[in-house]
Each structure stands twice: as structure tokens, then as C-alpha cells.
Structure 1
Amino acid sequence: MLSSGVIVRRGPWDGSDENTTTTQPPAPGTGNGYIQEQIPFRLRSQATGHTNQPQIQGDEQTPHRQGAFVGHRPSAPGGGTGQRIEAPHDGFDLIEALCRCLDVAQMVTDYLDVQDLVNLYSISRSCQSMFNRNYQRFTLRHARLNAPQSARVFPFLCYYWLFIPGKFALPFYNHVHQRMQLHPIPTFRWLAMVRHREAVVNDIVHLMEQEGFRLPTPCTLVIKKLWFLMDIPDNRRRAWTIQNRRLWEDIDLFFAMFFLVQLDICLRRRHNKPNGALRRLVMAQPSLMFLWRVLTNTALTNQFEVVDAFVRWQYTLEHREPGVYIFGVPSEQVGLLQYEGYRPTDGAQILQRPDELVVREMVRRGLHMQTMYRDIFLLGNTQPYTTPDSGDAAWDEEMRQAVRGTGEDWMDWVILEQSWAAAERDV
């Protein structure tokens, strides 16, 4: 016999559908396919307003309220001890109901973290079906709501290992190859990367402020743009990106230089170095996660780690022999970060660092740091250094416009190789 206050619910493993994604064994001692959930059974009487004793008024078909839910009264009046109590709300499933209303489901998921979305996708067949039909709608909405800058700076089309090119992709007509293709859609992995980078950049700004180097608010966007430059593994697209005035305005170059100067002074003071070698070492990495580790005292904590990082970046070997170590670094990884694509192939060019590109572009545009400092900080005049209608410019869209008419597939230029992942996993 079930005691009072025990609700018997059927577990998710009771279904006979073979497409069920997750299964769980029944709880010990609960019978075959049933779980007992200890939930206090309390009825609110609309007549008296008391909640100490379960009271029911009206006929058998009168709905009653249980907490915040509306359902029907139990089959046994009074719900006394030793009587079986049916599941409330006629088996009403909240998640199932949310999945039937897409707009409400979107508003609810706005308050969830990425891992919560993954959990819903894993445990609920209805949520999985809903996400599969509206994958791009959910991920882009969540990214633009919680990390709008990062969602624009890091387009999902650039990271082919973070989008879906398969059966859930959207069909479109490729005018270059004259055939229908599947337009990829973002996944939760891309959403997690965007949220992760948003948090890391904010943490970098906070850590530098703790070191005594407060950065203006526009530096947050500029740091993300520098991070995206690090994702590009070749000089041609790096130079094209920073020379595009819609992607890199004059004021962006100013705040990028401001950030690099502050970072250079910060690293000099932390490690007692008279030159900018550490700043060049940090900006030569394939990810800003290395800078975050330096500021959190988990990287470059001693001279051995400094030498290790330098060998991986700029040490040159005449012959690479398997099993040979240079200052503790395998010969296969020595000097990789200085080459395009992080591969020392024949004819590989030296990869230009983002700080190098910023300085060269300021010289190419004829910008003067002192004049910009006076106009921006003292006079508050930023209009001469901004580009109209550049706020919504996205890198993948700009690249598609540049490739249009050349006869080449623009996706070949948009997709960034994952070569940096072998050296630095930041997601």
C-alpha cells in the first residue's frame, strides 16, 4: 500500500518507442518501470483558504488548484491514509507542453545556460525534435541575447567543426556550382564557444584592471577582433580582414593599439622585462586563452615555461628528428607557431602577428596616435574615425561580397582551418 503524499509516476523508460535516446533503469525497490517521488500532496480549498488539511468541495468534475497548476480532484475523496492517489493534472507534462509552443519555449530557454540546453536535448525526445527543427533559430537567438558582440565577431560559418552540414542543414542553391547544397547551421558547441570567449574577454579586462590598467569599454570589442585575427591561419586573409574598413574602423585600430600598449606595460611589470618580448610571445599564440592564463598566473610562472613557450613559437630547427627534444619540447612542435597554418611546410611564410598588423595598418591609413588620443579622449570627437553602417558588418558576409564574381566558392574562403586546435584547445 502507498502511504499518503506519495505520487506514482511512470518513468521515461516505460515507452515502447525504439527511438528513445536515453534510458534509465527503474529505481531500486520501486517495481517494474515505476518511480515513487515523495511530493507533499496539498490541496487548496477555494472556500476556506486553508492548506493544512486537504479539503475538496463541489462535485467530482470540479477542477481544483494544486499550487500553481490546475487539474482534477483525486478519485478517492479526502485522499486519506492508505488510499492510492493518481498522478496530478491527468498526466500533464510541462516539457511536452512547452515543446508544442515554440515562442514560449524560446522565452524559457533564454534563461537557461548552454549545458541546460544540452541536458534538455539529451533527456527529452520532444525537446530533441523541437531543437532539430529549429536549431538555427534557438542557437542564434541565445547567442545574440547573451553574447551579441561575440556572435557577430565569431561567425559560425567560419568554424566548420562547430556547425551541422548534414541532414538538419538548410537547403540553398549554389549559383557557382549550379546545384542545390545544404547551408550549415550552428550547434550548441558554437554557442558554447561564443559564451566561453565572451566570458574570457570580460575576465581579461577585469584582470588587467586589477593590475592597474583600466581599459575603455570599446576595448572589449577590439580584443574579440584580435582573437578572431588569431583564428585566421594565413597572412592573406589576416591582411584583408584588417584592411577592410567595415570590419576594422579607424577607431578600432586606435583602441587596439591602446590595448597593446597597456598589455606591454603590464607584462613588463609582472615579469620585470625591459622590452616587449613577452607581448610579442603572447600575441603570437593561436588563441587569447594563453593571455588569460598568464594574467591568472597559470602560464609563464617561471623561466622554464617562458623558454618552453618561446621554443614552440620561434625556435628554428634545421632537421626535425622524431624522439628529439629541444628544452623539453618535442622536435615536431618546435617553432610551429611562427608559420602560416602552424605547419613548417616547404615555402611556408612567417605568420604576421595581430599586433604587427595593427601597427602596419595604422601607418598605411596615415593615422596619428597622438591626434586620435586628443580627439577621442579629450574632445570626445569620434565621428572622423568611424565608418557609416559598419556596426552590423560580419566577416563572413564581407568575405562573400569580396569573392562574388570571381567564380570561386565563397565558403572555401570563409571556413577557417582547425590547424590551431592541435596547439591550443580553448573550447
Structure 2
Amino acid sequence: MADESWPAKGKSKRLAENLGVDDRDEASKSRASGLIRASDCSPPPPSPPKRRSDRETSVRPNERFNIYKAILRHPNHFFQFAIRLPSATVVDLYAIDKEFHYRFNNYSTSIVSDYAYYPAPHAAFIFSWIIFPELCISDPLLKSMDGRSLLARDIPSLRWTKMVIYRDRVTRGILTCLGLEGHRFHRGTHVTLMKFWLLMEMQITAMREAFLRDDKVWTDMDIVFFHLFLVKLDMRLPDPILGNGMCELSHMLLTQKSLSLLYKVVAMVQALQDINEIYECEQPEEPESME
């Protein structure tokens, strides 16, 4: 079988190693000319922008840093800032500041609840806003109640927070006044006294009985603390020096609708007011200066 040989190369074809330096220069020149022709077809570069006048290129000065606005716009600091403000300040900011008004409405339920839980956690839990519908308002964002789109849900108001803080201070004031006169109590008596205040407001006897029978609400220790409170209150009222009357006075004070009257009697608030009024009436008027 005859050996098959590769076809011979044409005479016009040359190998790369046979190319001379001049041939390579010509090839590079042809490539460069092709690139130049391609660049001629490309779009022209954009013209430089026109120079603006000094009035147009003037930079707007940066706004001054406002710590109040920075706190309002912070996702975490706003809540801590709002719950530490006095109630009168919250009402004023809600009325005059649009941004505070908007953010307060967006988080009204959580802010109002935290506003009461921060200074008086036990009172906010015992005097829950669900028990006091007259102290609630309609949701400013008009969120529906129980899926009913035509009825806005109820949320706690600032009036409820004032009531909670007031009752917490009154109960603490009663125990403080008795403690300063030698009648000390356990720290749990404060919570027991607030539970009794809630019991005083119930108008139906069946509700009161159900409230007292619930072991989760009125524990055995609560009953013990309240009995100790009754004993020491009866010791305080008929006291020959600091007393205000006799033992039966405690029964009358504890059958009222609130403990505010008991606080006034124990702290002698009304007596001090009467003494101040008498003192002011007895003071002679100062003569007008002769000029």
C-alpha cells in the first residue's frame, strides 16, 4: 500500500518563521489602520458641560443639627424619650409638633402602655385599660376591631395613664405616712392595697365575690397583708397624739369608692390646708408704702 503523503504547500504560502521583519511591520501597520478606521465610525465624545454661573454652583449650606428631631427619627430613642416626658409636655408636643403627632399616632398603644408601666408597673397591670372603657379612645389610625372595618378599635388614652400613676402614688403615700409613724408593712402590701381599690369600684356584689374567690388574683398572702393593714390602721386612727378619731373610722373610709379620702385623713392634707387658710386670714395686711 503506497504511503499517503501530506499535500504540498502552495508556492504563495509562507511559514511564520520565514516572514521577515519588514513583513511583520507591514502587518502591524495594516492592523493599526483598521483600528483607526473603526474609531472614525464611533460616535464623537460628549462635549464638556457648560460652566455655570457662581449663583447656580453655590452649595446649599448644611442644616444645623437638631437633637430633638434626631431623637424623634431614631427607631429606639423615640420610645424612651416619650415615656419620660411629663404628661402635660406630651399633650403640648402632640398638639404643636406634626412629626411628634404622626409618630405618636403610629405607636400610640405601645407608647401609652409603656408610659404607664414605666413609673407604675404593678398599678398598670392591676388597673388595666380594658377594665376602664370610659378612659379609652378610638384608634387614630382607624384600625379595625375584630375584623370589622367600620368600627375602630379602642386604645388606652393619656387619661388612663394619669389615673394609674395617681393611684400608685396614693397607695404608696398611705403606706409611707403610716410607716413614718411606726406602722411598718411588707413590700407586698402596696400591691394588695391596689387590688382592694379595684374591689371598691366594683358595683355588683357577684363580681366582687368572683374577684375574691379567684386564687390567682387574691392569694393567701394578699389576705394576710390586708388583715395586717386593717390592724395597724385601727392602731393609727385612735392614737391619742396622731390619731384622727376612733377605730370605727377605718370602716367608713374603706367603704368609699376610692382610697383618696383615706390618704387625706392619714396624711392630714385637709387639716394642713385649713390651718394655712386660717393663718392667711389672721395675717394683717401690710400697709401701703408712702412715696
Q: Which residue of 2 aligns with 1:235?
A: 205
Q: Aligned equivalents of 1:254 and 1:202: distance in 2? A: 18
Aligned pair partner of 1:157 in 130, 133, 146:
130
Shift of 1:130: 1.0
Aligned pair partner of 1:262 in 232, 240, 264:
232
Aligned pair partner of 2:85 in 112, 121, 135:
112
State how 1:231-310 maps to structure 2 within 5 Å: 231-269=201-239, 270-273=243-246, 276-299=247-270
Tell me if the contact between 1:169 and 1:184 (Cα under 8 Å) persists in the aligned partners: no
Aligned partner of residue 118 in structure 2, secondary structure? helix
Aligned partner of residue 237 in structure 2, secondary structure? helix
Which segments of structure 1 move beyond 6 Å, counting only runs of 4 or more?
none
Q: Aligned equivalents of 2:231 and 2:109: distance in 1? A: 39
Q: Aligned equivalents of 1:244 and 1:170: distance in 2? A: 34
Aligned partner of residue 264 in structure 1, secondary structure? helix
RMSD: 2.6
Aligned pair partner of 1:90 in 56, 59, 63:
63
Shift of 1:247: 0.8
Q: Aligned equivalents of 1:102 and 1:124: distance in 2? A: 18
Aligned pair partner of 2:76 in 88, 103, 113:
103
Q: Aligned equivalents of 2:62 and 2:217: distance in 1? A: 55
Aligned partner of residue 218 in structure 2, secondary structure? coil
Q: Aligned equivalents of 2:89 and 2:123: distance in 1? A: 20
* 2:71 counterpart letter in structure 1: L
**196 and 169 in structure 1: CA distance in 2 versus 1, 3 angstrom threshold:** farther
Shift of 1:179: 8.4
- What is the count of residue pairs matched by the alignment? 211
Tell me if the contact between 2:139 and 2:155 (Cα under 8 Å) persists in the aligned partners: no
Q: Aligned equivalents of 1:181 and 1:260: distance in 2? A: 46
Q: Which residue of 2 aligns with 1:353?
A: none
Q: Aligned equivalents of 1:169 and 1:206: distance in 2? A: 43
State how 1:26-425 maps to structure 2 within 5 Å: 90-168=63-141, 170-173=143-146, 181-269=151-239, 270-273=243-246, 276-299=247-270
* 1:206 counterpart letter in structure 2: T
Aligned partner of residue 164 in structure 1, secondary structure? strand
**111 and 171 in structure 1: CA distance in 2 versus 1, 3 angstrom threshold:** same
Larger radius of gyration: 2
Aligned partner of residue 90 in structure 1, secondary structure? coil
Specify every segment of 5 or more residues in structure 1 that has no aligned partner in the other structure, as ranges: 1-74, 76-85, 302-427
Shift of 1:254: 0.9
Aligned partner of residue 157 in structure 1, secondary structure? coil
Q: Aligned equivalents of 1:299 and 1:221: distance in 2? A: 26
* 1:235 counterpart letter in structure 2: T
**173 and 206 in structure 1: CA distance in 2 versus 1, 3 angstrom threshold:** same
**98 and 248 in structure 1: CA distance in 2 versus 1, 3 angstrom threshold:** same
1:252-283 Cα distance to aligned partner (Å, 9 max, x none): 1111111111112211221342xx32011101
Q: Which residue of 2 aligns with 1:349?
A: none
Aligned partner of residue 115 in structure 1, secondary structure? helix
Q: Aligned equivalents of 2:184 and 2:130: distance in 1? A: 34
Q: Aligned equivalents of 2:153 and 2:97: distance in 1? A: 26
Aligned partner of residue 238 in structure 1, secondary structure? helix
**236 and 170 in structure 1: CA distance in 2 versus 1, 3 angstrom threshold:** farther
Shift of 1:99: 2.7
1:1-31 Cα distance to aligned partner (Å, 9 max, x none): xxxxxxxxxxxxxxxxxxxxxxxxxxxxxxx
Aligned partner of residue 268 in structure 1, secondary structure? coil
More contact order relative to length (CA 8 Å, sep ≥ 6): 1
Q: Aligned equivalents of 1:101 and 1:203: distance in 2? A: 37
Tell me if the contact between 2:84 and 2:115 (Cα under 8 Å) persists in the aligned partners: no
Shift of 1:91: 4.7
* 2:260 counterpart letter in structure 1: M
Q: Which residue of 2 aligns with 1:63?
A: none
